[in-house]
Amino acid sequence: MTDLAANAFASTPARGRSLWDDARRRLMRNPAAVVGMAALALFTVLGIVGLLNYAYPGLFGLHPVDMLFRDKVNLAPSLAAGHLLGTDTEGRDLLARILFGLGISMAVGFVATTVSLVIGVVWGATAGYVGGGVDSFMMRIVDVLYSIPFIFFVILLMVVFGSNIWLIFIAIGAVEWLTMSRIVRGQTISLRQKEFVEAAKAGGASGAAIIFRHIVPNLMGPVVVFATLNVARVILLESFLSFLGLGVQEPLTSLGKLIADGSNNMDTAPWMIVWPAVMMFATLICFNFVGDGLRDALDPKER
């Protein structure tokens, strides 16, 4: 009976795990990354609530983002008064504005990173795979764009097109794809000589098919890590622009703009800068936790 059971067990094929399955298991064993992902999920929900509260005031029982309470200007945090985090210099509820600002900041981070991801992956993979003069020409364009100061580029765009949130997406996305393209190009150069690429060529696959079906899926590990860390970088860039008055403009707001407004009232209303700064810090540190966890999970040395 024991022999039969042993033979039956031996005849059952072992279920293999892919590299992505192994990476997921390592990621879930990283406490900081797990906490970061959970917190980011919560922040994303809160940001969506803030955006919906702006579009549909009072939908979640929050004060409207732009409602003015003239008798409660610079009110300190007070649950009894109905303003959990206080009000600003215009009498607007700070909780509603922080949630809305969180939604705008995360939207800027995700959209600009997606734009940079698409452009950078296509540009870098094409340059790395084709090589030769095409690669040299495409990367010289990247070098030229790198030489343009970011702030000068943003100011130029705003002078020509005016200030709006879509311009922020374009300005940040137009700069962040440069680093992405260099990372992807380097990975593509190391992959284009691999056996599976040579097999695809021998099978008659076109250059575009080889790039997007064979090369890009095999370089997604470093790209995912960079994209995760880049969201935090984009949020920080937008906050920097808003702090200088070049970012999100009224009636919209962001965490950076709330911090800028709070910095002007630190003596009389310190809560105006403390709560947005805490939210900004928590968001950025969670993105870094997740990015570090992904980097460790996808590290080939750990496989």
- pLDDT value at 300 more than 80: no
Q: Give me the pLDDT at residue 12, please.
A: 43
Q: In the chain, what are the domains? A: 20-62+81-302 (1.10.3720.10)
Closest CA to 191 of 164, 222, 145, 160: 222
Q: Give me the pLDDT at residue 286, please.
A: 93
Separation in Å, CA 258 to CA 83, 102, 168, 176: 17, 10, 17, 24
Closest CA to 55 of 65, 68, 43, 47: 65
Per-residue pLDDT tens digits for 257-288: 898 888 888 888 888 999 999 999 999 999 99
- pTM for the model stands at 0.83
Of 285 and 171, which is predicted with more confidence? 285
Per-residue pLDDT tens digits for 33-70: 899 999 999 999 999 999 999 988 877 888 889 888 88
Q: What is the mean pLDDT of residues 197-210?
A: 78
Q: Give me the pLDDT at residue 162, please.
A: 66
Cα 106 from Cα 237, distance rounded (Å): 12
Cα 187 from Cα 124, distance rounded (Å): 9
